[in-house]
Structure 1
Amino acid sequence: MPLFHLSLLLLFTPLLSALTLPPQPSHLLRPYSHSDSTSLSSSSPQQYLDPTFPSLLLPSTPPDFSLPLLSHSFAYTYNLPPFTSPYSPPSSPWSRAVLCLSVSCAGEQYDRIAAVWLDRVELLRTSTAEPTEAGVFWSVRKEVTRYKSLLNNPPNGTIAVMLENIVDDTFTGVYHVNLSLDFYLSEGDESRESKKPADLIIPIAEEKADTGFWFRIHNGSHMRFAQFGIPSNTFRAVLEIFVSFHGNDEFWYTNPPDSYIKKNNLTTGRGNGAFREFFVIVDGHYAGSIVPFPVVFTGGINPLWWAPVVALGAFNLPTYTLELTPFLGILLDRKSHEIGIGVTDGISFWLIDANLHIWLDPNSDLTTAKVVNQAKETSISRDYSSQLLNGTFEIKAERKSYFSGWVNSSFGNLTTYVSNKIEFNSLVNFTNNGKDKFVLMNANQNRLVKISGDGGISLETYDSKYPIQVITKTVPGENDTFTLITSLSHSLYEEHHCESGNEVHASYLIDRQEADGWMLAQDHSVLSGSASTWQTYEYGDEDSVYSRVVQVKDGVILSDNVTDGSGLRHFSW
């Protein structure tokens, strides 16, 4: 993370005065080795992994050809612009593309946020692992076929990678990065994202890359805007959003209300309660909002958990989509328009940008459209109670939104109806004079997109649920040490269903992590500790099912089992 990164549990656990706990640093680094195991104490670098990348979703065969993009070592890069490299599109045709990122690092270093852009269009948001003295290395592969029009016809042809790092006498880790694209020619190896990619992708991002192309949002009233225009023959528009949260909001789902902080005369900036959503407006019209998945970076909560398996989404942060086709009636006038992005109750700082995917009518230079309906319903209730440093803080929120509009093109007159629903519940509980903390958050989100016309109806639904539970206990020790006892339960559930004519596609995903452990810490260092992590990942569709279960104890993989099957099983949350 950048300099303000609040890397570890201590920064979001005890919001206490020096009278109740020993002095607590803003950063903690895990030890080079937190066990006597040979895997961590050896001189060989250790490979880190994210079990959420099954061969079912990414090509298992070698690529037909690869395109190197850049190779660079990120040493002291804080407050510097991204590293750039020229990009030339492939000369051969291709049907599928995968972005490949490989990173290595040795020494002492915090986790850092990073991103990859092509001509200001973000392709990947990622974070780094915390290295060891012997070194760590890992790779990330991400499907990027959806950016086909950009990969084949980049306006300027510039790849940019942002990775703010600090190297000095204490923080010695330099991140060595290699980036490439793998291309596949065979139509038989098409992506499961089988929809036709957009004809045009417009970046909704910073114009200049002094500190990256992402927008930095510092509070709930701070919105960032981008001007854009679309071709007159547009018939569909979808906004893809990249988001990550840092500084005082890195653990936003654990934050107490400002009233608790003020009542106890605390100096922390981590307040505003535990509800966040980012929202989008188009020319002043509300277009949708999403509660982000609570990604835990590799230095977060208990860094001993994240070796060698990282937290859900840490290497490939999730993206989010909003269907903007109903708003084409506003946008199809050949004028400049404005998209704004903000964060409800947000505090410093959030990094957000977006890509506007545009589909064009190949048979006409002009489409017409009209907005038919826009509506939203919102309810938020907050129940806070506290006595000194103990307190219970509950938040319940629900938001519903409905949009519809028609587009007349060579495909006929198509009406798009969009329904979004968010249900959010949060409980933050401080006990034992604030030394112990219980956090339970759950977000349910449901999206429906229905397109109707003379040719029939197509229907797409997407349902997601992501609960997280964090329990921490702090025990003061001798010589300004303290012991942290931690546990985590973190999950992502997704269901996707699509019907168009006689074609039906359905898929589901279950990704869960359970972790527990303890740390003895002093000043900025973890002196000792023990940690266990268990992860299960399962993806299935109408053709096959893939599952992987990984168990880790003190940095050693105890088991790693993969199962392949066939057929889509039914499941319920």
Structure 2
Amino acid sequence: MSCFYLAFTGLLLFLTRTVPSAAAAPAPDRFHKPFRLKSSDPKPESQEFFELTNPLPSDRLTPSCSLTVINNSFANTIDSPPFSAPYSPPSDCSPPWPRVVLDFRADSSGDQYDRIAAIWLDGAEVFRTSTAEPTDTGIFWRVRKDITRYSSILYKPQLNVTMMLENVVNDIYTGVYDIHVSFLFYKENIVPNDVRFPSIISPSQNHYDNLGTAELGLFKTPPDLIIPISSDGERGHWFRVESESDVHVKKVRFPNNTIQVVLELYASFHGNDEFWYSNPPYSYIRMNNLTTARGNGAYREVFVTIDGKFVGSEVVFPVVFTGGINPLFWEPVVAIGDFNLPSYDLDLTPFLGWLLDGKYHDIAICVDDAISFWLVNANLHFWLDHGTPKVEAQSVVYNSPALAIQRREAFTMLDGSFRIKANRKSEFAGWVKSTAGNFTTIVSQQFKLTNVVRFYFNGTYKIVQQRVKAKRDSRIRADSGNLVGRTVVQRQYPLTVITSTVPLPLIGSLGSKEEEMYMMITNVSHALRERRINGLSSSTLNNRQESEGWMKVKGHSVISGSGSTWQKYNYRDEFGCYSRTVLALEGKLAIDNTTFSCASSA
């Protein structure tokens, strides 16, 4: 049963009962790479890893001050509480700050799996990341994230900043993650030079112009209040979702002078659901007597409800962590979203008509069709009317048809195909009358998903193809009917994973079979395409990766192999363009070209 009971499911089954045979190794899977290719360099140095992304406007600024908030080594931290340290705003540059940036630096050496991590300030998540898998000679990386939208928390003294990174260190897994995190505070902007850069590069005269309406609200300023929808923090402030029936709820009372509210959602997938987009249904697993726990089909949707009513959902971007599919793909260029996992904004302003009653309301998060495990939490961002203790509000449109989903199965023994088509479309509207005027917010959201998983050659050849198209449109109209604010976000997530597995039996010296060894040949193609409209400005992003290679695997350890990744990152807005193209071969950069020319980034 769905975690949201309005879902409608159409199911078509075409099954042929046969005697099952031995299954091939599950793919895709998670690996680590204890082997090291011999280097011609007699003194190999620590290598920098990175994720392709756009530079921040603040990268061309000098911070007025910086504050170290985390300086810690995460060794054998499994089942331990998160690292915690006190936080107060820096005394040498008091607020307000036009920009605040989180500067994350990490290094590690040895053998280790990738690990998920997050940072919270006063229980509100501000950053989610995953680690790269280290080498004997060491790796390091750096991530910067603009956290200006969390200014209302950053202003407060005597808070706690916490970080969760559960790691295992023993005789086999030796990699310790050394983490250093600083907050960089900017008091002034610089005047852009004569070169035309896109808005992601050049700071504008209005400090907040480059941040979207959904992030900064009608008045394009950071929110006045943030309330986390998170756990008590004993194992990090995220909620752990073990199944679709695992619903996490927090009671919240909305301030009576709220004029706009946006829920920021964080979600990531792990364990048996790390490759949810490739999971076969349980019928395939049972009929073939397979031992894998990765099942329940290849559809997942993160839901948010208030008092049991649907208010928004997200089919999240399929981030591939650095130990996933083939870890040789992700060195030194990691997969899209690895170092800075995306969050997702849901505009809840249309519902203020029934939320501003002074009562507590149940904010719930769940994941449809989930298996163990997902990590989810959220932040509520409030914009308040400081001229009155209470505003008037009314919800006028609530149109949320049920999810339409079709599933088709056709398989004989280990070969067959599984298809899923799903779509959802909803629209909500409501008005708020405040001292600034009477404004109506209309929010529409829709997505379409198609997913096909195919098995050939006794299950040893697997093709996964998924396409997700999503659109969220938030419009704000004045009482006169004039459009005074609009944010449109359109995203596409195409993903293809092709894996061929060839068993390589290994016989021990006494004739006993040792741990299974096999050859795995894999191709991965995935992309993030995004178009944003913020008022009169617009931007487009096309971020695409193509990876191919092979590896010889024993258990979950890579014995030998080869991998390459080509990636092109294109960003364009009305101010200019940014493009970077890289090619990584055998863990080294073969091509790395950056340009600000719009002609080359078309």
Identify the residue that residue 522 of structure 1 maps to in structure 2.
Answer: 554
Identify the residue that residue 595 of structure 2 maps to in structure 1.
Answer: 563
Residue 63 and residue 403 in structure 1: after superposition, are their counterparts in 2 closer, same or farther (change >3 A)?
same
Identify the residue that residue 298 of structure 2 maps to in structure 1.
Answer: 274
Shift of 1:32: 4.3
Identify the residue that residue 461 of structure 1 maps to in structure 2.
Answer: 488
The answer on whether the counterparts of 2:279 and 2:294 sit within 8 Å (CA) in structure 1 is: yes
Deviations 1:367-402 (A, max 9, x none): 111111111222101111100001100000010011
Q: Distance in 1 between matches of 2:146 and 2:527?
A: 22
2:435 pairs with one of 410, 414, 422: 410
Deviations 1:36-77 (A, max 9, x none): 4447x843211101111x325552233221111120011111
Shift of 1:362: 2.2
Identify the residue that residue 124 of structure 2 maps to in structure 1.
Answer: 121
Aligned length: 546
The residue matched to 2:283 in structure 1 has which SS? helix
Q: Distance in 2 between matches of 1:428 and 1:313?
A: 23
Moved more, 520-529 or 17-26: 17-26
The answer on whether the counterparts of 1:540 and 1:567 sit within 8 Å (CA) in structure 2 is: no
The residue matched to 1:313 in structure 2 has which SS? coil
Residue 80 and residue 245 in structure 1: after superposition, are their counterparts in 2 closer, same or farther (change >3 A)?
same
Identify the residue that residue 472 of structure 1 maps to in structure 2.
Answer: 499
The residue matched to 1:90 in structure 2 has which SS? coil
TM-score, with structure 1 as normaliser: 0.92
Shift of 1:334: 1.4
The answer on whether the counterparts of 1:243 and 1:350 sit within 8 Å (CA) in structure 2 is: yes
Moved more, 368-377 or 142-151: 368-377
2:449 pairs with one of 400, 413, 424: 424
Moved more, 59-68 or 434-443: 59-68
What RMSD, in angstroms, separates the aligned Cα atoms of the two structures? 2.1
Gaps of 5+ in 1: 1-15
Moved more, 473-482 or 351-360: 473-482
Identify the residue that residue 12 of structure 1 maps to in structure 2.
Answer: none
1:397 pairs with one of 422, 425, 438: 422
Identify the residue that residue 324 of structure 2 maps to in structure 1.
Answer: 300
1:491 pairs with one of 511, 527, 531: 527
Deviations 1:328-376 (A, max 9, x none): 1111111111100111101111000000000001222211111111112
Q: Distance in 2 between matches of 1:25 and 1:403?
A: 39
Q: Distance in 2 between matches of 1:326 and 1:567?
A: 41
The residue matched to 1:369 in structure 2 has which SS? strand
Q: Does 1:148 align with 2:184?
A: no
Identify the residue that residue 51 of structure 1 maps to in structure 2.
Answer: 52
Q: Distance in 1 between matches of 2:498 and 2:307?
A: 43
The answer on whether the counterparts of 1:422 and 1:444 sit within 8 Å (CA) in structure 2 is: yes
- The one-letter amino acid of 1:47's match is E
Q: Does 1:199 align with 2:224?
A: yes
Identify the residue that residue 81 of structure 2 maps to in structure 1.
Answer: 81
Shift of 1:90: 2.8
Identify the residue that residue 7 of structure 1 maps to in structure 2.
Answer: none
- The one-letter amino acid of 2:79's match is N
Identify the residue that residue 168 of structure 1 maps to in structure 2.
Answer: 170
Residue 42 and residue 517 in structure 1: after superposition, are their counterparts in 2 closer, same or farther (change >3 A)?
farther
- The one-letter amino acid of 1:325's match is T
Q: Distance in 2 between matches of 1:289 and 1:19?
A: 39
Identify the residue that residue 512 of structure 1 maps to in structure 2.
Answer: 544
Of all paired residues, the percent bearing the same amino acid is 47
Residue 50 and residue 66 in structure 1: after superposition, are their counterparts in 2 closer, same or farther (change >3 A)?
same
Moved more, 488-497 or 522-531: 522-531
Residue 552 and residue 184 in structure 1: after superposition, are their counterparts in 2 closer, same or farther (change >3 A)?
same
The answer on whether the counterparts of 1:90 and 1:152 sit within 8 Å (CA) in structure 2 is: no
Residue 259 and residue 17 in structure 1: after superposition, are their counterparts in 2 closer, same or farther (change >3 A)?
closer
Shift of 1:33: 2.4
- The one-letter amino acid of 2:496's match is Q
Shift of 1:88: 0.6
Q: Distance in 2 between matches of 1:459 and 1:59?
A: 28
The residue matched to 1:59 in structure 2 has which SS? helix
Residue 338 and residue 304 in structure 1: after superposition, are their counterparts in 2 closer, same or farther (change >3 A)?
same
Identify the residue that residue 103 of structure 1 maps to in structure 2.
Answer: 106
The answer on whether the counterparts of 2:102 and 2:145 sit within 8 Å (CA) in structure 1 is: yes
The residue matched to 1:565 in structure 2 has which SS? coil
2:375 pairs with one of 346, 351, 359: 351
Shift of 1:209: 1.4
Deviations 1:512-552 (A, max 9, x none): 10000000112342111111101111111111110000100
Q: Distance in 2 between matches of 1:390 and 1:23?
A: 14
1:436 pairs with one of 432, 455, 461: 461
Q: Distance in 1 between matches of 2:599 and 2:392?
A: 42
The answer on whether the counterparts of 1:217 and 1:343 sit within 8 Å (CA) in structure 2 is: yes
Q: Distance in 2 between matches of 1:110 and 1:184?
A: 36
Deviations 1:114-143 (A, max 9, x none): 000000000000000111111111111001
The answer on whether the counterparts of 2:35 and 2:559 sit within 8 Å (CA) in structure 1 is: no
Shift of 1:18: 8.4
Identify the residue that residue 309 of structure 1 maps to in structure 2.
Answer: 333
Q: Does 1:363 align with 2:364?
A: no
- The one-letter amino acid of 1:149's match is S
Shift of 1:22: 7.5
Shift of 1:200: 0.4
Matches within 5 A, 1:325-344: 325-344=349-368
The answer on whether the counterparts of 1:397 and 1:423 sit within 8 Å (CA) in structure 2 is: yes
Residue 84 and residue 531 in structure 1: after superposition, are their counterparts in 2 closer, same or farther (change >3 A)?
same
Shift of 1:249: 0.4
Identify the residue that residue 133 of structure 2 maps to in structure 1.
Answer: 130
Matches within 5 A, 1:369-384: 369-377=393-401, 378-384=403-409
Residue 291 and residue 354 in structure 1: after superposition, are their counterparts in 2 closer, same or farther (change >3 A)?
same
Q: Distance in 2 between matches of 1:464 and 1:232?
A: 34
Q: Does 1:67 align with 2:71?
A: no
- The one-letter amino acid of 2:50's match is L
- The one-letter amino acid of 1:481's match is M
Q: Distance in 1 between matches of 2:576 and 2:256?
A: 41
Shift of 1:217: 0.7
TM-score, with structure 2 as normaliser: 0.87
